[in-house]
Amino acid sequence: MTQGHIRVGTLLLCCALAVLSWRVASWAATTAAPPGDAERGRALFMGEKAFKNGGAPCMACHSVAGVGALGGGMMGPDLTTGYARFRNYVTYPPRTLPPMKAIFSAHPLTPQEEADLTAFFRAASVTRRSTASLVWLSGLALAGGLTLLLTFQLIWRRRLRGVRKPLLLARR
Ligand code: HEC
């Protein structure tokens, strides 16, 4: 066999593998548990709707785009791109990663809840932060900036008076 033959063979093998894994992936997607409801998933994520087995709402530790102006908790990573990276496994980490494992092995998510959460993450990975929450964030940033400016203005004034007054008095 020449090198060219080997190269063509490798190429064909790669194509076959790619097609096979794509078939398996789409088969897994179509046979995946019950259909999820993004709106119910959002309510579960935010804790508006309690988990059947009493697990803590994901938002206690995570944030996702468009959920509240300041997002959710800061302990866990932002899950906005979670679906893009984990697909249907986005609801698998709670069972396996340390801080969540303690909670969610004692209070497991039901298959329906996992499906709902997955649908919510899928929607969130598309919408990103909503315009409304961006407007809120800019408003908050502006208010914070103004507060800082006013505070410094006050401090600065007092300092100027403290320095300039004695100097002016001394010149007279
Ligand atoms: C007690 C706080 C807590 C709660 C509640 C929680 N998480 Fe987490 N989660 C974490 C922390 C901390 C990490 C990071 C773990 C690590 O990297 O080892 C994490 C990581 C993840 C990851 C991996 C993200 C990445 O970028 O690697 C996913 C997915 C996830 N959590 C989903 C969920 C879902 C879904 C829920 C709700 C059912 C949930 N988590 C509830 C704390 C929490």
pLDDT in tens, 35-52: 889 899 989 988 899 999
Structure tokens of 80? 């906005």
Q: How far is residue 75's CA from residue 83's CA, in Å, rounded to a whole number? A: 19
Give how far the C-alpha of residue 68 lies from the chain's centroid of Cα atoms, to the nearest Å.
12
Please tell me which residue, 166 or 122, carries the higher pLDDT value: 122
Q: Is the CB of 100 under 6 A from ligand 1?
A: yes
Probe residue for ligand 1, chosen from 85, 88, 100, 112 as the CB with the greatest number of ligand atoms within 8 Å: 100
Residue 105 predicted with pLDDT over 80: yes
Q: Is the pTM of this model over 0.85?
A: no
Give the burial string for 3-30 (b: 16+ CB within 10 Å, else e): eeeeeeeeeeeeeeeeeeeeeeeeeeee
